[in-house]
Copies of this chain bind each other. A is one copy, B any other.
C-alpha cells in the first residue's frame, strides 16, 4: 500500500463528500495529517486537475474529472447507451423510477436511472451503492454472481430494517427462488418504505451483466402491480438484449453540437 496514494484518495473522498469547498486546515484535520502534508497532496491533485481552488475563496473543491473517469467506465460497455432509450420507453408506462443496475464487488450500483414524469420522489441517484442482498436488483445480480461473492455477502448480513435478510440460509433460499422465477423483489429491506422489482439482463453469452429495476414507495407498489411490472421488465429487457446482441450501439458518441 503506497501511503501517499492512499492519502491522496482520502483527501479526494473527503472533498467529494463535503457539502461545499473545504479549507486546507479542515482537510488536514479530517484526515489526521499535517497542514503541509495536506498542502502537497492538494497541490498534486490540483496539478492533475482533480481538484481546484474555488474561484473566490482559497478553499478546495473537486472538479468533474473524477466524474469523467467513472463515466468512461459506463460508456465502455456500451450497454448504458443501448439500454437507455428502452428504459425511457419503459418509464413512460409506469409511474415509478426505472433503473439499470450493475454489480461492483459486493455492491449494487445504479448505472442509469430514469425518473418517471409523475414521480417527484427519487429513491436512488446515479452511482448510488446499496448492499446486494437488500435491494431487488442486487438480489438478481447476487443470484447470478460467483460463489465467492455470495460467501462474502452472506458473511456480512447487517440489518438495516427489521425486514432485512440476516440469515445466510434465507439468503441462499431466496437466491434459488430468484433464479427459478426469473425476478426478484425487495420490500423495505434497506429503507423501510421502499420497494422494488428487478429482472436480469444477459449479454450474448447468456451471462447476467446487469439488472433492470422498478422501484418506488411502499404503498404504490402492490402485489398486483409488481407482477405486472415483471412482465413489462422482461419485455423491455428482451428488446435491450436483442438490440445489444445485434451489435447495435444506441449512440454514436463523442461528437457535440
Instruction: Give A contacts to B, CB under 8 Å.
Output: 1-2, 4-6, 8-9, 12-13, 16-17, 19-20, 40-41, 43-45, 47-50, 52, 55, 62-76, 81, 84-85, 88-89, 102, 104-105, 107-109, 111, 114-115, 117, 120-130, 134-136, 146, 186, 188, 190-191, 193-196, 213, 215-217, 221, 250-257
Contact = CB atoms under 8 A, between A and B. Distances in A.
A72 B130 CA distance: 15
Contacts of A105: 49, 52, 63
What is the predominant secondary structure among interface residues of chain A facing chain B?
Answer: mixed
A70 B69 contact: yes
Contact of A64 (B64, B102, B146): B102
B71 A127 contact: yes
Which of A9, A43, A49, A55 has most B Cβ within 10 Å? A9
A65 B69 CA distance: 10
A67 B63 contact: no
